[in-house]
Structure 1
Amino acid sequence: MVALHAVRLDREKNVVDVDTRSANSDGIAAAKETLEDYTLRFAPRSYRKWSPAVVGISALGGIAYLADFAIGANIGIAYGTGNALLGIGIFAIVVMITGFPLAYYAARYNIDLDLITRGSGFGYYGSIVTNVVFASFTFIFFALEGSIMAQGLELGLGVPLWLGYLVSTLIIFPLVIYGMNTLATLQVWTTPLWLLLMVLPFGFLLVRHPDSVSNFFAYGGENGAGVSISGTLLAAGVCLSLIVQIAEQIDYLRFMPPRTPENSRRWWSWMLLAGPGWVLFGAAKQVVGLFLAVYLIANLPAAQGIANQPVHQFLEIYKDMVPGWLAMTLAVVLVVISQVKINVTNAYSGSLAWTNSYTRVTKTYPGRLIFLVVNLVIALILMEANMFDFLNGILGFYANCGIAWIVTVATDIAINKYVLKLSPKVPEFRRGMLYDFNPVGLVGFGLATVLSIMTFFGLFGDLLKPYSPLIAIVVAFVATPLMAIATKGKYYLRRSDDGIELDMFDEHGNPSGDTLTCTVTGMEFERPDMIASALPGPEGEIQYISSLALSTDKAGIHLLPHQK
């Protein structure tokens, strides 16, 4: 019996050793931050060397996409200027309200939207479903922007569309490899030229063709039905597919420097402008896209079928301004710059989302670059399938999922944390501190998604179809607090004590820059990223493990026990 017991103990020790070696390998691989860019955790103070202005400009560079012009043109052509403008207004208001709490938490606590979602009603594993929603957003819009660039290459250089799709995909890969370091430089340096090329045609029309303004407001769309609630809501539904853009803004905002009395005003200004404020630029681009489309429809009969394509919109206006060869050059340059600026963000954010989800499910870290390739391949398939031709349908459907997620998390922060006080105010994202699943967010998001999608497909009657975005908003806003009340908030935190005596925050409320050594990787990590290990050291001392290494602990040997 003694011998058998000794063998059993030895086997158990071997299992622990194997699991520890596995965690060591995956943890060290994930810690190569030059390539991985803090995929699985918060951005430490030592890495956040940019000013609020640089971070803000970089984040706003990610909204350089031309899809807004296409969206504005499409909804205007389908529903008329009046409905389109009202729909864009609804979109802007919803995004501003929901985007503020998310952007603030990201900039203040230096975590991305997935990490925020974990502690805001979804749980450690529960947020995987919303990560998939976000990843889908990145490849849908990558494909949309890539399609626009391919149209520009075909028009300006005679490149076949299929080859243009491939070029617009491959050009992005090398630019995204090194994460924020490269992206910040790219966004800052290309923004002035992009702004100039985008604003000039609009200003030119206002001065040279003032009658285009009255034509714009009088435009009734394809059916000329006039302003209606259904038309407005259908237009808003398409626009609201962009609500998830806040997640990409947050992928930059998490690198904001600590907020101090010295930089507080700049910090708040750039957080608001680059966070929820992105929608001001997005809404303006949608309006301009519709304006340009209406001008083409009214003045160039041959442009009827291409008035919703940004490449042709800008080319035709440039032709009225400068010689044809220069107009073509400017149009192609604008398209290429815009596509690169947004698609580096789409590819980057998508690779973070896929990697994060895969690592939590499998507890194996494959590397961010693998999922960068995956995201690009999916986007390329969508482009080759010519998704541009059924854009409204794709975005209208996707809007329901995106709205349900964003409104659920924003409601948890604003209502459950600050009004009901059932959700912990300080966001928690570490494995072991959170329950695996939290019904508060999952039920709120699930109900909002299912009911709004059923409405979108007409299962509750054609009369209600236009209201699917509104149903997603209302159900998520109501169900999330009700679930928090029903569960009394008990599924947010598995533990309230992480076993570390060092303060989590500095004197200004910023995440602390103090470091501790991870027992798995042997590397130094900042205090907010650390948790005590369940395995004591050789002398019985407390050991610490990073959230990064803990995410790849297959056997859970480092997990602290549940705290009642």
Structure 2
Amino acid sequence: MTQSELDETTTTTGRGPSPGAATRETLEDYTLRFAPRSYRRWSTGVVAVSALGGIAYLADFAIGANIGISYGTTNALWGIAVFAVVVILTGFPLAYYAARYNLDLDLITRGSGFGYYGSVVTNVVFATFTFIFFALEGSIMAQGLELGLGVPLWLGYAVSTLVIFPLVVYGMKALSTLQVWTTPLWLVLMVVPFAYLLISHPESVSAFFAYRGEDGAGTPDVGSVLLAAGVCLSLIAQIAEQIDYLRFMPPKTSENSRRWWTAVLLAGPGWVLFGAVKQVIGLFLAVWLIANATDGAAVANQPVHQFLEIYRDLMPAWLALTLAVVLVVISQVKINVTNAYSGSLAWTNSFTRVTGRYPGRLVFLGVNLAIALVLMEADMFDFLNTILGFYANCGIAWIVVVATDIAVNKYLLGLSPKQPEFRRGMLYAVNPVGFVSMLVAAGVSIVCFFGGLGETLQPFSPLVAIGLAFVLPPLLAVATRGRWYLRRADDGIDLPLLDEHGNPSDAVLTCHVCRQDYERPDMTACVTHGAHVCSLCLSTDRVGDHVLPAQA
């Protein structure tokens, strides 16, 4: 290992060379590796609030407005309900594994049917999610800056992108502080105007339920419900961003069991309850704007205008404009620091595994922001439903496959090891159970989405993705007898991986490559050198010198 690589894998504790910028950043985020108990010092409440702070985005308002305008209130509400049920069912097993074993979703995916290199494709899917929604949120922020400060949209896009970079540099510690302190103000700015509208304009409720869409043809229809659900389900990968916080949950014990479960359920799959409410509110405000505001139809799907019009009923115009801009800026900063943070982890993870080099997370933070800026400048708002509907098929396929592997293959069939494995050498390069299932589910549903299976089936592409992603993993696990999950069952270390409570062990071992101390779950034996090696040094071992041989 070269000196630069050694510096990149050194932590700020233990022995070794003085840490550089990349080293400090690696320690801050535990990029590519298990999050150790010694670092997880937040309470269950702080972790939950930090995770939920990341869903303060206004895209839900735009999504709710768009599907309501396209398909009418009734179809939109049923579509939102379908979305919520799917997210809760799939999000629970993922959130539990992340909080229990302190792993991000990529590390969980590796051992849940994809293999060490197979999960690279899901990392790309997730990275795509982060820059699509960064661009969507950045566009909303730019609209606010244009409305409140007269900043041209093209410049607003750049400002909304560049302001995020310094906030994400310092990782989880900075993000948790930002989320906790900004959440109360955000709640007040969002809830008060909606409550005022309900109280001062009660007739808006009946108008809301009677709304039938822009063409007036929004009668109840299964196809329209599923098309609306498909747009909403583009958010299914949000669970991966929730998990980027949940992996820092403290160990579960008998003393904190109730608090632990409450935090996991609320901040994990529970995020969708808040998201669904925001989508309904977004549609409600859009219907009110269309009926009551000048040029309301033209701006009904833009959250900044939705709130501005209500604020104007409450207070002087200058204060209304100020608060609308403040709400937009706070909301977009809260979510886009999470989008940028999670996206940089996903890109870095993929690059490191494929090339054996760790360039530092900040490199891919820049890449993710650059892609998002290009999308904003291309005015993605004009074709939002198409982008989200297309992406939903990929996101659904990934999340449902992993959730199915955990719930069915691990617990019902017993063909997948219950304890998630992520370390190189312990897994096969590719496991066909998850990898093939996802490619087939995503591919067929995308063909269906674009009408390749006929117009009748076109609205049902989300169901196609869900159905295939649920059925194929158990079938392939049975067909392969689960032999492609573990390349080795023994990592060569005598110490147990779990403590007496079933939590990952906090026993400390020293990596002989980077000469740093890490907790037991992050380590394997290195038979070549008769010592221990950490997961990141395994990832950057380009000749496989430290990788354990396959086990007969």
Question: For the Cα contact (< 8 Å) 2:7–2:23, is it kept in 1?
Answer: no
Give the 5 Å matches for 1:146-545: 146-225=138-217, 226-536=219-529, 542-545=530-533
Secondary structure, in 3 states, of the residue corresponding to 1:414? helix
Counterpart among 97, 111, 120 of residue 112 in structure 2: 120
User: Which residue of structure 2 lines up, in the alignment, with residue 89 of structure 1?
Assistant: 81
User: Which residue of structure 2 lines up, in the alignment, with residue 139 of structure 1?
Assistant: 131
Counterpart among 42, 49, 54 of residue 50 in structure 1: 42
Deviates more, 1:28-37 or 1:310-319: 28-37
Secondary structure, in 3 states, of the residue corresponding to 1:525? strand
Question: For the Cα contact (< 8 Å) 2:8–2:360, is it kept in 1?
Answer: no
Question: For the Cα contact (< 8 Å) 1:67–1:145, is it kept in 2?
Answer: yes
5+ long unaligned stretches in structure 1: 1-18, 537-541
Kindly provide the amino acid, as one letter, of the partner of residue 556 in structure 1.
Answer: G
Distance 1:197 1:354 in 2: 34
Distance 1:23 1:311 in 2: 46
Deviates more, 1:517-526 or 1:24-33: 24-33
Q: 1:183 to 1:22 in 2, by over 3 A?
A: closer
Deviates more, 1:30-39 or 1:101-110: 30-39
Structure 2 length normalisation: TM-score? 0.97
Question: For the Cα contact (< 8 Å) 1:26–1:549, is it kept in 2?
Answer: no
User: Which residue of structure 2 lines up, in the alignment, with residue 3 of structure 1?
Assistant: none
Deviation at 1:376, TM superposition (A): 0.5
Question: For the Cα contact (< 8 Å) 1:297–1:303, is it kept in 2?
Answer: yes
Structure 1 residues 465-489: Cα deviation after superposition (integer angstroms, max 9, x where no partner): 1000000000010011100000000
User: Which residue of structure 2 lines up, in the alignment, with residue 65 of structure 1?
Assistant: 57
Query: Over alpha carbons, which structure has the higher Rg?
Result: 1
Deviation at 1:32, TM superposition (A): 3.4
Secondary structure, in 3 states, of the residue corresponding to 1:462? coil
Structure 1 residues 385-418: Cα deviation after superposition (integer angstroms, max 9, x where no partner): 1111110010000000000000000000000000
Structure 1 length normalisation: TM-score? 0.95
Secondary structure, in 3 states, of the residue corresponding to 1:544? strand
Secondary structure, in 3 states, of the residue corresponding to 2:533? strand
Distance 1:559 1:23 in 2: 17
Secondary structure, in 3 states, of the residue corresponding to 2:298? coil
User: Which residue of structure 1 lines up, in the alignment, with residue 544 of structure 2?
Assistant: 556
Secondary structure, in 3 states, of the residue corresponding to 2:299? coil
Deviation at 1:519, TM superposition (A): 0.4
Distance 1:282 1:486 in 2: 38
Distance 2:527 2:356 in 1: 18
The alignment of Structure 1 onto Structure 2 pairs a total of residues equal to 541
Kindly provide the amino acid, as one letter, of the partner of residue 27 in structure 1.
Answer: T
Counterpart among 3, 6, 9 of residue 27 in structure 1: 9
Question: For the Cα contact (< 8 Å) 1:120–1:441, is it kept in 2?
Answer: yes
Deviation at 1:27, TM superposition (A): 3.1
Deviation at 1:25, TM superposition (A): 5.1
Secondary structure, in 3 states, of the residue corresponding to 1:516? strand
Give the 5 Å matches for 1:2-17: none
5+ long unaligned stretches in structure 2: 11-19
Structure 1 residues 180-227: Cα deviation after superposition (integer angstroms, max 9, x where no partner): 000000000000000010111110111000000000000000222211
Q: 1:194 to 1:88 in 2, by over 3 A?
A: same
Distance 1:284 1:118 in 2: 33
% identical equivalent positions? 73
Secondary structure, in 3 states, of the residue corresponding to 1:32? helix
Q: 1:186 to 1:103 in 2, by over 3 A?
A: same
User: Which residue of structure 2 lines up, in the alignment, with residue 11 of structure 1?
Assistant: none
Distance 2:188 2:483 in 1: 53
Secondary structure, in 3 states, of the residue corresponding to 1:305? helix
Structure 1 residues 16-54: Cα deviation after superposition (integer angstroms, max 9, x where no partner): xxx576864553376535665111101100110100000
Deviates more, 1:429-438 or 1:36-45: 36-45
CA RMSD of aligned residues (A): 1.1
Distance 1:24 1:533 in 2: 17
